[in-house]
């Protein structure tokens, strides 16, 4: 489980009540502590995702960000017109501005004595652009969508700058000890497939190709939320994340050669443990164990009960054992 996963845990809320979100992100020992919290509770987890946020990239470009309780991330300013891009550093020194994330990964790996892998991640260019144009979390990304039509050249310039930063950032995370790197394109389904293919798919494919060219051992994963997965069949991504809106069979048809990751409806975690286990087993069987990473089909929310993930993991463990060769 990932994507704002920690905040349903009382120990996360306790730690966050003493400080603020981006201070935690920027303090490797605290980022490590939060990364380890779910692992202490659920030792059967077989990977950890580094505690951070996709918005550290805009912060590195000069857009300061606060995490407002109950509102979400809020930047100091929004990119209202292309002229506002002058306020940004489009080519920040990734090592200098984001080394706190690299240190957090290294620290976490050391703490777990390399017994369990740490997953790194980044926002995809289009998802990052969405937050930057809107100035923070919003219900619909109307202004960002308008940018693609009204200012296509400026949009391409911003997306290309983000693409290059994402590559550097993922390479840095790999070098600090994260063997699998996920690119979250949460806003993929916000625009029509044609527009997505024009503005986003080439950059995403480039990111996968370039990271693997520079670091042949790296595994890269993409989560094109609510979008067409088939465009990634012909890409260097190793893993494609599946939203809860797709069926496992549909996902396998779209990307037959890829490892798939997903896609339990996060709302199921409110149900009684028996139902959670049953539906999890059903999902794993539908995907099939080979070339599959069990996960939710989107993020957790603060009101999820702590018992939900436990039942989910029990379901996963039971079916994997049943299907393992003798
Ligand atoms: O799962 C984890 O805890 C790992 C770290 C992680 C966070 N954010 C920490 C976080 C990861 C992988 C993310 C990714 C992220 N952040 C995405 C992509 C994944 C997705 O959700 O599709 C996006 C779009 C963001 C941007 C972001 N960060 C938003 C929109 C919000 C507010 C969400 C909401 O519904 O309130 C955040 C906050 C955030 N990021 C929290 C955490 C633990 C919650 C902060 C808090 O309330 O204390």
How does DSSP assign 183-235, residue by residue?
A: EEETTGGGS-HHHHHHHTHHHHHHHHHHHHHH-TT-EEEEEETTS-SGGGTTS
| Type and span of the H or E element at 12 | helix 10-17
CB-ligand 1 contact for 178 (6 Å cutoff):
no
CB-ligand 1 contact for 107 (6 Å cutoff):
no
What is the residue-averaged pLDDT of the chain?
94
Q: Give the model's pLDDT for residue 294.
A: 94
Burial 231-259 (b: 16+ CB within 10 A, else e): bbeebbbbbbbbbbebebeebbebbeebb
CB-ligand 1 contact for 65 (6 Å cutoff):
no
CB-ligand 1 contact for 189 (6 Å cutoff):
no
Query: What CA–CA distance (Å, rounded) separates 121 from 156?
Result: 22
CB-ligand 1 contact for 73 (6 Å cutoff):
yes
Mean pLDDT over residues 246-259, rounded?
97
- What angle do the packed helices 28-41 and 10-17 form, to 10 degrees? 160
Percent of the chain having pLDDT more than 90?
87
Q: Give the model's pLDDT for residue 300.
A: 86
The Å distance, Cα 1 to ligand 1 centre, comes to 12
Comparing 139 with 27, the larger pLDDT belongs to 27
Structural domains of the chain in order of their starting residue, each with its CATH number: 5-241 (3.20.20.210)
Q: 0.90 cut: is pTM over it? A: yes
Per-residue pLDDT band for 324 (boundaries 50, 70, 90) equals low
Q: Give the model's pLDDT for residue 302.
A: 84
The Å distance, Cα 3 to ligand 1 centre, comes to 5
Residues 46-65 have pLDDT tens digits of 899 999 999 999 999 999 99
Report residue 242 as tokens: 């599946």
CB-ligand 1 contact for 212 (6 Å cutoff):
no
Residues 10-47 have pLDDT tens digits of 999 999 999 999 999 999 999 999 999 999 998 888 89
Per-residue pLDDT band for 326 (boundaries 50, 70, 90) equals very low
User: Are the beta carbons of 313 and 42 closer than 8 angstroms?
Assistant: yes
The Å distance, Cα 53 to ligand 1 centre, comes to 6
């Amino acid at each position: 489980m990932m994507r704002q996963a920690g905040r349903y845990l009382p120990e996360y809320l306790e730690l966050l009540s003493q400080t603020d979100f981006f201070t935690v992100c920027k303090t490797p020992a605290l980022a490590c502590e939060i990364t380890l919290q779910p692992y202490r509770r659920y030792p059967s987890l077989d990977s950890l995702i580094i505690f951070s946020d996709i918005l550290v990239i805009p912060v590195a470009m000069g857009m300061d960000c606060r995490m407002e309780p109950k509102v979400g991330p809020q930047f100091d300013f929004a990119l209202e017109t292309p002229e506002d891009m002058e306020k940004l550093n489009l080519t920040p020194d990734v090592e200098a501005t984001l080394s706190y994330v690299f240190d957090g990964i290294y620290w976490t790996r050391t703490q777990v004595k390399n017994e369990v892998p740490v997953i790194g991640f980044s926002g995809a260019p289009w998802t990052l652009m969405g937050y930057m144009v809107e100035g923070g979390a919003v219900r619909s990304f109307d202004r960002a969508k308008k940018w693609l039509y009204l200012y296509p050249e400026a949009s391409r310039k911003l997306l290309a700058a983000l693409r290059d930063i994402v590559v550097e950032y993922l390479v840095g995370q790999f070098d600090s000890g994260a063997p699998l790197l996920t690119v979250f394109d949460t806003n993929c389904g916000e625009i029509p497939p044609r527009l997505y293919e024009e503005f986003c798919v080439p950059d995403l494919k480039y990111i996968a190709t370039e990271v693997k060219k520079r670091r042949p051992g790296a595994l890269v994963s993409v989560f094109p939320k609510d979008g067409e997965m088939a465009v990634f069949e012909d890409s260097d991504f190793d893993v494609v994340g599946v939203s809860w809106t797709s069926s496992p069979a549909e996902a396998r048809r779209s990307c037959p050669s890829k490892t798939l990751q997903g896609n339990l409806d996060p709302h199921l975690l409110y149900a009684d443990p028996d139902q959670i286990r049953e539906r999890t087993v059903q999902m794993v069987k539908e995907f099939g164990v080979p070339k599959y990473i069990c996960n939710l089909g989107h993020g957790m929310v603060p009101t999820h009960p702590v018992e939900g993930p436990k039942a989910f993991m029990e379901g996963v463990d039971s079916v994997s054992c049943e299907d393992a060769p003798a």
